[in-house]
Structure 1
Amino acid sequence: MSKTPLPRRICVMGVSGAGKTTTAMALASRLGAVFLDADDLHPAANVAKMAAGVALDDEDRAPWLRAVGETVAGHEHVVVACSALKHRYRDLLRDTAPDLIFVLLVPSDDELARRLAAREGHFMPASLLRSQLATLEPLGPDEAGVTVDVSGAGLDALIAAVVDGLGAADSGGVTLGG
């Protein structure tokens, strides 16, 4: 493990089915941090819209992202699972949690299809994956964080790679895995 102190506020991000919740829960456990699922903060109207197969727009997302940022800022050590697909969405999160560091999970298309086909009981239908992939903007050079290829990675190896990457992260992205 890196000797560099790890961030206190971490957002595990990516499209639906990337493994955000599983990864964020395991990372929070490993770091002794609070786990938050941003999906739990969606207003009922957003959940109903997505459940009906309609993609959220920026107007739908803005109040939700502000609520996520405020909730994150209210915790000393926290790992949140949040899609945070666009740079401006991440900016909204950082408005209230400026020290937030991002972990972008990037599975292969085949891995995403497999995961979404096996998923049960989630309000986000697989039919919205294309809109999420089209919306996703990679971490920019001005965004602190790491990008992790999660295809075929076991959870323990993934968490170890994330922890190592976060220890080395500065203002740019680092690609791990492969």
Structure 2
Amino acid sequence: MSIERPVKPDPYDLLPATASFTVTSEDVADGQPLGPGQVASEGNISPQLSWSGAPEGTKSYVVTCFDPDAPTPSGFWHWVLVDLPADVTSLDTGAAAGDLPGKAFHVRNDGSEKGFMGAAPPPGDQVHRYYFVVHAVSEESLGVDDDASAAVVSFNLAFKTLGRAILTGTYQH
């Protein structure tokens, strides 16, 4: 069985336009291969992220990592962190495995874990893109609980996102 297929479009180009702001990382360089820390079999550690310039009216953040290149129709969610307080503008390396600020919580990623799952594309597959996105949210709570799926979080974001900051890493096994 071959897993050759066309490259999927940028998933955020398919959503309604929002304001943009800046996200940077000491662990992920935009458009570059992920380091061992962010690979499931080597480190499996959430990256350091810092963001600035969020739109006025931001009341919370959601942080996600999504791989649209997984060999599924729906891609693969690696990280979904919900309800970060608006005064939080950075996460340390490994923050997904520690205590979260305020009322923040994880929903299950597509590996069935509540936290970060590093890159794990099938051996020999095409280069995968990992979209680390900080979503500025217009409400203090997105209105979901920790039993929500990543798709339900994404659906709610469609109506409450004021802006997005996007950083994309790559990985090929």
TM-score (norm 1): 0.30
Higher helix share: 1
TM-score (norm 2): 0.30
